[in-house]
Amino acid sequence: MAAVNTKKPLRRATYVKVKDLAPATKGHCLVVQVHAIDPATEKTRIDGSIVRIVEATVGDETGTVVLNARNEQIKLVEVGRVLVIRNASADVYNGFLRLNVTQWGKIAPHPDGIASTPHAPQSVNTSNNVSGIEYELVPAEDVDHEEGDGHHD
């Protein structure tokens, strides 16, 4: 009996702009240019392994965001370089938005040879730093009270 290919075709990635990033969201694909890089820091994990982290300000025509690049990703982060970021998450760290690319994501230099990848940004809008907005975790009961529903659990 012949094997039947039951795999679904891969869907085309949907790219977003920096201004569209929101806290606690994931699966973002972006094309950004590296604007600035902070010095590398090292953190020791619970298992004793060391992780190197660089915070890089990256952006497009709509704004900038801080990208946390780790270990091997750091080699790709150079000021002026255009990067293709796939499957990133927008997380809040110490109250501020950070873009993270985990083991399920990828950072690659642009152009990456994939036809559906958008063009490089023509400029970087440094006046809209989405990582400069401070976020505060609000308990769910405070949200209910503010909406005036009149009851509490």
pLDDT, averaged in runs of 10, over the chain (153 residues)? 65 91 96 98 95 98 98 96 97 96 94 92 97 86 54 50
- For residue 30, give the nearest of 19, 13, 16 by alpha carbon: 16
9 torsion bin: left (phi>0), alpha (psi -120 to 50), beta (else): beta
Q: How far is CA 49 from CA 41, 46, 52, 62, in A?
A: 14, 7, 10, 37
pLDDT for position 12: 76
pLDDT for position 36: 98
pLDDT for position 136: 85
φ/ψ of 65, rounded to 5, equals -150, 155
Whether 107 contacts 32, CB under 8 Å: no
57 torsion bin: left (phi>0), alpha (psi -120 to 50), beta (else): beta
pLDDT for position 62: 98
pLDDT for position 11: 73
- CA separation for the pair 88, 63 (Å, rounded): 17
Structural domains of the chain ordered from first start: 18-147 (2.40.50.140)
